[in-house]
């Protein structure tokens, strides 16, 4: 009987792999601060990011998507076509310095990066004063698939937030 118990325990012990990273949710709606390096531009690629401890959600907008003019409605940009959305998990808490310093700090390191395989970015632009434009950014249908082919479920990143540009 002890022999069967030992074999059963051995199968359980060696059959489990706790080294794989399991991501169940991507939740950045509670993070209101959108960060970027430098000044946002209507004539350049803009990289925006949200940091949540040791995780980051990175949105790359193409040149000309942000415009200093009031939009008639929502302007759509496809993912991964025109825009890019990435989700990174780091070895420790990450700061703005990781994204903005040249060269970037050695730590924390990226444990996993997953790029969105589908979805859309919607931007609505309003004018807040004579020189400032407010861009409300929403994400829709963002689909992350990890390297094992597993889809990340329970995405809670519909309202990315608001950024401003000036004439």
Is 2 inside a domain boundary? no
Owning domain of residue 96: 25-166
Residue 131 lies in a domain: yes
135 domain residue, yes or no: yes
Q: What is the pLDDT of residues 66-120, one digit of tens each?
A: 999 999 999 999 999 999 999 999 999 999 999 999 998 999 999 999 999 989 9
In a domain, 11, yes or no: no
Count how many domains the chain has: 1
> Who contacts 112 (Cβ-Cβ below 8 Å, separation ≥6)?
21, 23, 88, 89, 146
Start-to-end CA distance of the chain, whole Å, equals 80
Has residue 10 been placed in a domain?
no
DSSP structure class, residue 145: B
What pLDDT, in 10s, does the model give residues 15-53?
A: 444 444 455 567 787 899 999 999 999 999 999 999 999
Give the predicted TM-score (pTM) of the model: 0.82
Exposure on the CB side of residue 51, measured as CA atoms within 13 A: 14
């Amino acid at each position: 009987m002890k022999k069967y118990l030992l074999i059963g325990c051995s199968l359980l012990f060696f059959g489990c792999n706790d080294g794989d990273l399991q991501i169940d949710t991507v939740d950045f709606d509670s993070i209101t601060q959108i960060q970027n390096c430098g000044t946002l531009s209507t004539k350049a690629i803009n990289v925006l990011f949200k940091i949540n401890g040791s995780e980051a959600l990175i949105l790359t907008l193409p040149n000309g998507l942000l415009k200093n003019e009031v939009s008639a409605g929502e302007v759509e940009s496809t993912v991964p076509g025109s825009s890019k959305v990435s989700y990174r998990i780091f070895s420790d808490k990450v700061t703005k310095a990781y994204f903005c310093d040249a060269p970037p700090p050695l730590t924390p390191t990226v444990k996993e990066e997953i790029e969105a395989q589908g979805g859309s970015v919607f931007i609505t632009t309003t004018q807040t004063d004579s020189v400032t434009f407010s861009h409300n950014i929403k994400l829709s249908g963002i689909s992350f698939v990890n390297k094992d082919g597993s889809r990340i479920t329970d995405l809670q990143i519909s309202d990315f937030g608001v950024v401003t540009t000036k004439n």
